[in-house]
Amino acid sequence: MFYREAGDFKSSYRSDSQTFPIAFDRYRYYALLVFAIGVVPFIVDDYWANAVLLPFLIWSIAAIGLNILTGYCGQVSLGTGGFMAVGAFACYKLMTAFPGLNIVFVVLLSGGVTAGVGVLFGLPSLRIKGFYLAVATLAAQFFLVWLFNRVPWFYNYSASGQISAPERTVFGAAVTGANAQAWASYLFCLTFLIAVAWLARNLTRGAVGRSWMAIRDMDIAAEIIGVNPLRAKLTAFAASSFLVGIAGALFFSVYLGAVEVGEAFGINKSFLVLFMVIIGGLGSIFGSLAGAAFMVLLPVFLKNVLVGGLGWDTALAAHFELVLVGGLIIFFLIVEPHGLARLWELTKEKLRLWPFPH
């Protein structure tokens, strides 16, 4: 009854297979976009941008990238942090080597470089899978962090070993550097998230996405019916690494501004993105967004409630956050493996039938 589906008919296959087949969902989606683009930039301040909005947008892109590989293609990866480091260092080298290159192309090229590296480390997936593939991607994580630490060329022979993002502008507004404005950085990252979500959604519901899901469900049966496992797995690694590389470039240039690879892209970042995908929902674009929002807002909420409201020690609140996240992962894996996305779908189904019980 909340959806008012009366008169909402489908007269073509295209209208029946669209992302939001119910008109109410489409209008709500358009209203959310209008609010995010037309209202938030005028009211956002530095605190909300740096504590909530920018981390949410960037981690959402990384979660969508990992979800393509793990949720849609079934290839377990623990090297997300290392691939984000590739995107960050590619962004830094491009920004310093080509000062006149627009930051949009710098981020896209950084994603392209990361896609190439992801395909290289995805080659073992042709022979191994499951736990062994997870260990192989974990090795990629440690190798990439070691490489960026040990080869001075990557950080332009800086004595500190850190990389810093120079200032770059888009339509006259600084989005990187010390003079970057909160609203400009927010809109810059939001544009990339909208484009990434649109790209991922169309990839996963097309022929490429169906080949990924066939490999995920049963690779031998998929090969028998004509799916090329080489092409399917490597395209999944390429698409996933491309999006993760974009997230790494934005994380370095827009959000942090200066990073040290071991601290900014350690193994904890790989697990963080994996937790986002598990809690949000495997094989769901909305689940990636929901998981990223949950993992970004949870520390802020606990800090305000436990530390600010109840007077807990900061370290105790941080440890309680780890316990809570671990318990939620166990809960979702046992009770609802499809995460928050499935819970949202069930809620919508109940609203469509309310007040009738069946």
Q: What is the mean pLDDT of the chain?
A: 89
For the segment 58-71, the average pLDDT, to the nearest whole number, is 95
Length of the chain: 358
Give residue 358's pLDDT.
59
pLDDT at 352: 76
1 has a pLDDT exceeding 60: no
Say which residue, 269 or 354, is predicted with more confidence.
269
> For helices 229-250 and 80-97, what crossing angle results, to 10°?
60
Specify the pLDDT at position 138.
Answer: 93
| Per-residue pLDDT at 21 exceeds 80 | no
pLDDT given for residue 210 in this prediction: 93
Confidence of residue 357 (pLDDT cuts 50, 70, 90): low
> Which among 126, 77, 82, 356 is positioned nearest to 232, based on CA atoms?
126
Q: Give the model's pLDDT for residue 231.
A: 92
Instruction: Provide the 10 A C-beta neighbour count for residue 64.
Output: 33
**pLDDT for res 252:** 93
Backbone angles phi, psi at 170, to 5 degrees: -130, 115
**What residues does 259 pair with on adjacent strands?**
163
pLDDT value for 61: 96
Sequence-distant (≥ 6) Cβ neighbours of residue 271 within 8 angstroms: 78
Give residue 2's pLDDT band: very low, low, confident or very high (50, 70, 90). low
The confidence score (pLDDT) of residue 314 equals 83
Please write the tens of the pLDDT for every residue from 134-160: 899 999 999 999 999 998 899 888 888
pLDDT for 241 beyond 90? yes
| Residue 6, pLDDT score | 66
* pLDDT value, residue 211: 94
- The pLDDT assigned to 338 comes to 86
Give the number of other Cβ atoms within 10 Å of residue 153's Cβ.
8
Quick one: pLDDT at residue 5? 67
Mind listing the pLDDT tens digit for each residue in 156-215? 888 888 899 999 999 888 999 888 899 999 999 999 999 999 999 999 988 999 999 999
**Arithmetic mean of pLDDT, 224-231:** 91
Strands (E), the chain: 163-164, 169-170, 173-174, 258-259
Q: Cα–chain-centroid distance for residue 80?
A: 10
Strand-pairing partners, residue 305, are none
Q: Which of 112, 65, 63, 60 is nearest to 86 (CA)?
A: 112
pLDDT above 70 as % of the chain: 97
pLDDT tens, residue by residue, 319-341: 888 898 888 888 888 888 888 99
Element (H, E) at 156: none
Lowest mean pLDDT among 61-65, 95-99, 129-133: 129-133
Q: What are phi and psi of 289, to 5 degrees?
A: -65, -45
Average pLDDT value for residue range 44-70: 93
Which alpha helices (DSSP H) does 67-130 contain, by range?
A: 80-97, 103-122
Query: Does residue 355 have a cis peptide bond before it, meaning omega lies within 30 degrees of 0?
Result: yes
Contact 136, 145 (CB under 8 A): no
DSSP state string for 173-210 = EE-SSTT--HHHHHHHHHHHHHHHHHHHHHHHTSHHHH
Choice among 200-214, 248-262, 278-292, 310-324 with the minimum mean pLDDT: 310-324
Position 33 scores a pLDDT of: 92
Predicted local confidence at residue 234, as pLDDT: 94
| pLDDT tens-place string over residues 65-81 | 999 999 999 998 999 99
Q: Burial level of 124, CB count in 10 A (0-12/13-18/19+)?
A: middle
